[in-house]
Amino acid sequence: MAMTQLAALGLRPGDEVVLPSYGGDRAAREVQLAGAVPVFADIDPLSFCLSPSSAEAVMSERTVAIVAIHLFGHPADMVRLEELAQRRGAELVEDGRSLGEIPSGQALRRRERASFLGSRLRGVLPPQTRAGAEHAFEEYVVRVPGNGRPDRDVFRHALRARGIECYVPIVTPAHRARGLRTAQWLQESELAAEQGLALTLEDSMSRRQLSRIASACNSLGGLLMEPAC
């Protein structure tokens, strides 16, 4: 989110800006630099984007803006967030490329490959798409279910040992980060940080390459059944 967008709001000390904790670390620090107070809301578990109902729950008379972050190529629910912002007299700021800014050919190729890969994955939950939305799959983030971070991280190391590139897209939600920490419990943000794993997905990848990723993931499904220590 450009600092100019925040500056244009004329933020004053004590003003509150609502934003998602998951994926909102950088934006929250920009809000702090502008002299305002970041207020964290939870995410929609399907899209990883800001939940309008959670955003409304943390708004107050000091709320001046809502930050919508388009995460991993999935658009935030701009219709509901715009309605909420207008009803509560707040500004709505977009952070991240909207789907319209991603070349259509690239988005189509990535959706095709995401669909192929998702239909073959077992044991991990492929990315979901909110009804009525179009996912551009800038990052292909699956959920590794189980008993929390140890399961996801064991799975990640095992995948990399098989030559499959993967990484944790967001290690810590903003409300748990140094300098931003709050006493909130944001369940979906916590789960996303514990379970999220990004698999390599390029629009030039062949079906053979995608099948290799799926086979490696599926062969490790037994790891997810191990009890937590």
State residue 72's pLDDT score. Answer: 95
For the chain, give the mean pLDDT: 90
Residue where a domain stops, chosen among 76, 99, 122: 99
Q: Tell me: do 61 and 106 sit in the same domain.
A: no
Rounded to whole angstroms, how far apart are CA atoms 40 and 208? Answer: 42
Q: Using the 3D structure, point to which of 69, 99, 129 is the last residue of a domain.
A: 99
Reported as a single tens digit per residue, the pLDDT across 179-197 is 999 999 999 999 999 999 9
pLDDT band at 227 (very low <50, low <70, confident <90, very high): very low
Tell me the per-residue pLDDT of 37-50, one tens digit each, with 9 for 90 and over: 999 999 999 999 99
Whichever domain contains 203, its CATH number is 3.90.1150.10
Residue in 16, 19, 20 with CA at minimum distance from that of residue 193: 20
Same domain, 85 and 10: yes
22 and 52 housed in the same domain: yes
- Looking at residue 226, its pLDDT comes to 45
CATH number, domain of 37, equals: 3.40.640.10
pLDDT at 208 (0 to 100): 96
The model carries a pTM of: 0.89
Burial of 222 (0-12, 13-18, 19+ CB in 10 A): exposed
* Structure token pair of residue 87: 């009803």
